[in-house]
Amino acid sequence: MSTLDELKKILARVSRHSEQDIAPETALKDLKIDSLHWVQIIVAVEGTFDIEIDIDRMREFVTVGDFLNHIDELVGALDDT
């Protein structure tokens, strides 16, 4: 399963949106995720990809694609070690 598919699965489960409604260009604000849900998402992403998300960087993300790119960067950094 691709990183995007995994992320969509996590976002859909927590936000109660359909995976089909979530795409890289989807604005995170449109998912109407509150702070508690973000904690659940971050924990799930960290566990799924064995990475550590910088919560302060989350404020920079506007779209699902922004979040996806950050995950890919972190996973790529692990692959380089």
pLDDT at residue number 81:
55
pLDDT tens digits, one per residue of 38-59: 999 999 999 999 999 988 888 8
Q: What is the DSSP string of the chain?
A: --HHHHHHHHHHHHHT--GGG--TT-BGGGG---HHHHHHHHHHHHHHHT----HHHHTT--BHHHHHHHHHHHHHHHHT-
Kindly state the average pLDDT of the residues 11-34. Answer: 95
Domain ranges of the chain: 3-79
What CATH architecture applies to the domain 3-79? Orthogonal Bundle (1.10)
pLDDT greater at residue 80 or residue 74: 74
Q: What is the pLDDT of residue 55?
A: 86
pTM beyond 0.85: the answer is yes
